[in-house]
Structure 1
Amino acid sequence: MSKIILITGATSGFGKAIAEKFASKGWNCIITGRRKERLETLSKSLLEKNKVQVLSLNFDVRNREDVFTQLSNLPSEWQQIDILVNNAGLALGRDNFDEASIDDWETMIDTNVKGLLYVSKAIVPYFIKNKKGHIINIGSTAAKDVYPMGNVYCATKHAVDSISQSQRIELLQHKIKVTAIHPGAAETEFSDIRFKGDKVKSEAVYAGYDALQANDIADVAYYCATLPMHVCINDLVITCTAQANSFFTHKG
């Protein structure tokens, strides 16, 4: 019987790569995202390239009502979820605290923290009913180190780290695994979004060294998800060789 993975923020970056990786290995995929056209394109691609089933759900994790409407009423054949990947997240702006946008702060908090909580809360009942499950939360090296002009983004990823630890303790009785994967600099749309389309700034982030790629994180997620039932990688920090932590990167 094919296993089922649910991935939030599947329309680009880590989420898209994770969906493609698991589908290539025969996993049925529930993919979610707020960009409908991209979601439909990914769904079509997964179906054409792999002999798997795909359920695409178009919603924004910030919208509490939509999250529970869509995820709490899954068709019965999709309720045997094995893995939840809480990937939806973003950074907006790179500013000193006194100059930062409150709107940016609220978007990051609503997406990175509240969205993760909403989705987890909607899916955990399936895990409890099935007496198994695995939550993989995509964090960041920003969960471990606060860097200049990272303020609220770093805070949201510290929250993901803390939530992951709490989930691991409080869901232990239900045999639910919890893994937090904390990537460093990865060459995805992350910086394009952070700098709001400013290509000069976003390209400068990855200049002079070989950054992580989305497929690197997909490989790590797949490894964590396919270990024996009695084995769980709790917390994993991954950077490219040129990066020591969220602040120190050797370029050139």
Structure 2
Amino acid sequence: MLVGVVGTTLLAPWISPFDPVSSNLAHIDQPPSGTHLLGTDALGRDVLSRIIHGGRQSLLIAVLGVALSVLVGTVAAVVAGLRGGGTEVVLSRAADIQLSLPAILFALMLLAFSARSTAMLVVIIGLTGWPGLYRVLRSQILSAMQQPYVEAARMLGASPVALARRHLLRRVRPFIVIEATGDIGRALMMVAGLSYLGLGVRPPTPDWGSAVAEGQAQLGYAWWTSTFPGVALVLSFLAFNLVGEWLVDRYSPTEAAR
């Protein structure tokens, strides 16, 4: 499923049967047929082509946003583990406060004071995703700091950068990969939710969330315009989460010990 989702979006310009933004008023709200496999929308645009292209922008924003959250969360966890004391308390309280707010509410607060753009959506995904990763990595780093090999490295004069690079990051690398994989699915839902509210990807750029919003008023007589983009979004979310669950089973410390 994951290979299909990613491969389809990467090959969209070559496998899309129609131009996703080209309107054809002679083919408005046509049901699925041999010409338009998933039908057309209220502007005569091919639904299949818009689904294929719609994943490109959403996946790009999700992947870049998760990369930013991994960077912020990892740096914060390493700093908290190495410095401890007041630094750890401040970072932990900041993560707890943000986790207490619904992610969509936090995103709306940021969008209220900024211009809507792809870069801003990436920043929003990054800032809403780092606390969860921080909490996972912080516990692992604090555990690693108690290990004899880390204590020995500190006694031999290893710098904080050397400790982080040689010992701490190596220990938490599997957790970063596992968390990031699942977070991409959640980031896709966040992008779709913002687009559904009219605050995400700008039209006429195809996007799954905006496609669901545009077609919901036509569910009674043109159900395909909203249903198929929703199915694509759910399958993509499911694919990333299933891979994340497999990574947990494959690389968790408990399984490795067995």
Structures share a fold, TM > 0.5? no
Higher relative contact order at CA 8 Å, sep ≥6: structure 1 or structure 2?
2
**Structure of larger gyration radius:** 2
Q: Shorter-chain TM-score category? A: under 0.3
TM-score normalised according to structure 1 size: 0.27
TM-score normalised according to structure 2 size: 0.27
